[in-house]
Structure 1
Amino acid sequence: MTFQYLVLNSTNYTIWAVKIKALFNVHRISEAVEPTTDAEVDQKKNNMAIAMLYQAIPENMVLQIANLTSAKEIWDALKIRHVGVDRVKEAGG
């Protein structure tokens, strides 16, 4: 099964996030970016989520987040960048 990734840009964060979350659900890796408990995320799922995120963001953005080591850190960084710190806090994370 092959999926086409919508690439994130400065105006499509909301729809991009919905589509990426749907892909994470299909691959059963959504807890890599939205953990349900404090338990450590399975490394294989984390790696799969990171790879999928890298496919769905522009190359210049990959370089900006390359030092982050978990899918959750990457997801949060992208959310803050595109939604804004204050709006992320208001939305509860």
Structure 2
Amino acid sequence: MAMGRLPFPMLTRMNYAAWALQMKYLLRTNSVWSVVDRDEKATDAMNVSQNQLALSIIFQSVDDETLLRVLEKETARDVWAALRSMHVGVERVQEASVQSLRADLDNLKMSDAKSVDDYAEKFMMLVGHIRADVPCDVDVAVRSGVARRKWCCT
């Protein structure tokens, strides 16, 4: 790999939210986010070249199967919208998973048979699972879980 060149984040079935955030900043860094973010079609030469650069960056971050599914799209905005719609169901599954983990976090109690270390380990494991599923929402999830926590030792 060349010096100073970062690898593009690869889109998988389970990482759309994190991928989209990384790609947004990568496209901004290359001054082409505006062609993805706005409604109008690329008309002048500058917009056409920005659209081509944005498409190139996006295409390098998806696998061959996904590339073939969005190849007929003409603009970076259309490709971005298609990728988002392909992964909406995955996000719903992740949301359900996080809700389940939050419920586990809310119901976590320290019993007489367990040590503080066991309790802390289970707590951190649940937080880690929430972090893995929804990186942007973890602080809110953890804070709300801790705020609602019943700190009894029954």
Give the shorter-chain TM-score range: 0.7 to 0.9
Q: Does 1:47 find its partner at 2:29?
A: no
> Which structure shows the bigger proportion of residues in helix conformation?
2
Matched with 1:90 is none
Moved over 6 A (4+): none
Q: Secondary structure at the match of 1:32?
A: helix
Distance 1:39-1:67 versus aligned 2 partners, 3 A rule:
closer
The RMSD of aligned alpha carbons is: 1.8
User: What secondary structure is seen at the aligned counterpart in 1 of 2:81?
Assistant: helix
Larger radius of gyration: 2
| TM-score normalised over the length of structure 1 | 0.82
How far apart are residue 39 of structure 1 and its match? 6.6
SS of alignment partner, residue 37 of structure 2: coil
The count of residues paired between Structure 1 and Structure 2 equals 84
Is contact 2:36-2:80 (8 Å) kept? yes
Offset of residue 40 of structure 1: 3.6
* Deviation for aligned residue 1:2: 1.4
What is the rounded CA distance, in whole Å, between the counterparts of 1:38 and 1:74 in structure 2?
14
TM-score (norm 2): 0.51
| Pick aligned residue for 1:74 from 57, 63, 79 | 79
Match of 1:23 in 2: 26
- Structure 1 unaligned residues grouped into runs of 5+: 88-93
1:91 equivalent in structure 2: none
Identity %: 24
